A and B are shown apart, each in its own frame.
Chain A
Amino acid sequence: MNPSASATGHGSVADVQVPRAWRACAAPAAAALVSVGVVATLAVVDPNRPGHYPTCPFLWLTGMYCPGCGSLRALHDLAHLDLGGAWGMNPLLVVALPFVVGAWVLWVRRAWTGRERSRAMPASWIVTILVLVLFYWVLRNVPSLAPWLAP
């Protein structure tokens, strides 16, 4: 390559830009790879059988369900395309999963185009999510609601 071209950057714009987009997508790609690996493991190694996975620490320490209890079994059911079973284990996970996937798609788009967020969503939405999670946490420990909300 012409040394003056490499020194000034002229003529190397196309050589640089494509790897930048690919490099920026490394983090979301790694997250997707880990997620697929986790779901594949959960599909093969059944969390319904004891001894393979740790119990939820909150359940172990307090005896009460946390918002995440049953999410491993729910993912196992989803990996076997059993949406009803997953809903019975952890409805919050089933509701949240499409949003997580959507956030991942937006993450990839931001990484690929190099454009950052231009707006922040209203904080009241996040507070709503927070209140929902907290209510879910309490209500799934209410015995009369356990058939719908407890794992």
Chain B
Amino acid sequence: MTTPNEPTNPYGEQPKDPNDPFRAPDATPGQPAQPPAAPQYGTPQYGAPQYGAPQGSPYGQPGYPVANPASPTGYSAPPPNYLVWAILSTIFCCLPLGIASIVFAAQVNSKWNAGDFVGAQASSKKAKQFAIWAAVLGVVLGGISLAVRATSGDLS
């Protein structure tokens, strides 16, 4: 590493260009620059552009991941509104929770169409949860009703 004529640095020590994005940050004068091909795991070098830095940015800031410019919000497709599951749980589970799931399904679409992508995601999660809870409670209550009627002998 300290020999000036190692193969990865065939030009030896070069004058440090302050605008060089590939400039090794910690090379002290008199020491040869570290070969850039040697990754130093565990010792992040905040002065140097790292992976993820925007191309053509010579300022040496730490590279933040840049969102895809085609979808600046990060959302490209509307979240699922689980409307079919909401209706199925309403029809087969017989509880107002299914109705709540339909309400949240409507919220998913209204928020999405209004541009509230984060709110649409939240409503999507709620619609899913209410459909699941409608199904679970429907099965549990149905089982209880079956058990109660079976023990009381009233299965008409």
Residue B132 at the A interface, CB < 8 A? no
Cα distance, A117 to B110, chains bound together (Å)? 15
Binds B, one of A7-15, A65-73, A79-87, A142-150: A65-73
- B84 to A57, Cβ gap below 8 A? no
- A66 to B109, Cβ gap below 8 A? no
Shortest beta-carbon distance, B63 to chain A, in Å? 24
Shortest beta-carbon distance, A77 to chain B, in Å? 15
Residue A19 at the B interface, CB < 8 A? no
Residue B99 at the A interface, CB < 8 A? yes
* CB within 8 Å of B: which A114-151 residues: 116-123, 126-127, 129-130, 133-134
The 6 A-B pairs with the shortest beta carbon distances in the complex, nearest first, are A54-B142, A116-B77, A123-B110, A57-B141, A126-B106, A120-B78
Q: Which residues of B contact A92 (CB under 8 A)?
A: 91
Residue B138 at the A interface, CB < 8 A? yes
Q: Is the interface of B mostly helix, strand, loop or mixed?
A: helix
Q: CB-defined interface of A88-100 with B at 8 Å, one 1/0 digit per residue?
A: 0010110010011
Q: Interface size on B (CB < 8 Å)?
A: 39
Given A54-B146, A100-B84, A130-B102, A71 and B107 contact (CB-CB distance below 8 Å): no
Residue A21 at the B interface, CB < 8 A? no
Given A54-B145, A130-B99, A116 and B76 contact (CB-CB distance below 8 Å): yes
- B109 to A100, Cβ gap below 8 A? no
Q: How many A-B residue pairs have CB under 8 A?
A: 98
- B92 to A133, Cβ gap below 8 A? no
The residue from A59, A93, A116, A130 contacting B106, defined by CB atoms under 8 A apart: A130
Cα distance, A96 to B88, chains bound together (Å)? 9
Residues of chain A touching chain B, judged by Cβ–Cβ distance below 8 Å, are 50-51, 53-61, 66-69, 71, 90, 92-93, 96, 99-100, 103-104, 116-123, 126-127, 129-130, 133-134
Residue B108 at the A interface, CB < 8 A? yes
Q: Which residues of A contact B67 (CB under 8 A)?
A: none
Cα distance, A119 to B91, chains bound together (Å)? 26
Residues of chain B touching chain A, judged by Cβ–Cβ distance below 8 Å, are 76-78, 80-81, 83-84, 87-88, 90-95, 99, 102-103, 105-110, 112-113, 120, 137-138, 141-146, 149-150, 155-156
- B141 to A120, Cβ gap below 8 A? no
* A126 (CB) vs chain B CBs: closest residue: B106
The residue from B92, B109, B137 contacting A71, defined by CB atoms under 8 A apart: B92
- B142 to A55, Cβ gap below 8 A? yes
